[in-house]
Structure 1
Amino acid sequence: MQPGSVPPNTFATLFASRKAGEGVLITVIPSDKAPKEAAQIMANNYKQQGMRVLGNPVQIPGQNAYRFTYVSTNNKMHAIVFISGNGKHLANVSILGRHGTGGLALLKGLTSKEDKLFPKF
């Protein structure tokens, strides 16, 4: 992401493939908020923006991470959103695109220097 496009102390990166028609947006912010609460707030914010959120955030079994899906107002973009945290930071990992398979394959190789920051994909 370009400098100045995200708030201070926030990390954001975008991986995109035109060929696959998918992208993965990873954002990490300093926060001690519980992932469950953060996921619900985010889902509510998307609803207020007119997105169609498909169900409430659900916990990923055995992890302190939550997942929900939304569709843009024009039905052209689908997103799978994962929210997780370790008490110091929250991570928002969003797979953007029609199917999510390419993005999910990319995320299976994700590692972090901070313990339990990202969910296991």
Structure 2
Amino acid sequence: MEAPSRPPLRPAAVGGNLAGARAGRGVALSDVTCKKFILDLLVDYEDGTMPAEERALFQQHMELCPPCLRFLTSYQATGKTLKLLKPEEIPPDLARSVLAFVRSRAGKKT
């Protein structure tokens, strides 16, 4: 038996008029799914540019919607993990070998 799909996210679902808060920025939430809601707002939330009223409504939605909270947590963990990665230098011999291979495939001489 297939699980029912999530109903569209309505402003009432987040306990306030987030649609009104976003209307001036070209985002209407009357028929938006949670996924679209999160993707549209995530960058503003994470970089701190989301207005306080919207931020409060966003956080309230996170408290009421476990799937969205899991997505947000995963997104934040991914960002933290990526920041830990350090670029490594490509050994000069490997760089020359790769360039020679690519040039040979392109019909160019080294």
Q: Which TM-score band applies after superposition, normalised by the shorter structure?
A: under 0.3
TM-score by length of 1: 0.23
Higher strand share: 1
Bigger RCO (CA 8 Å, 6+ sep):
1
TM-score by length of 2: 0.24
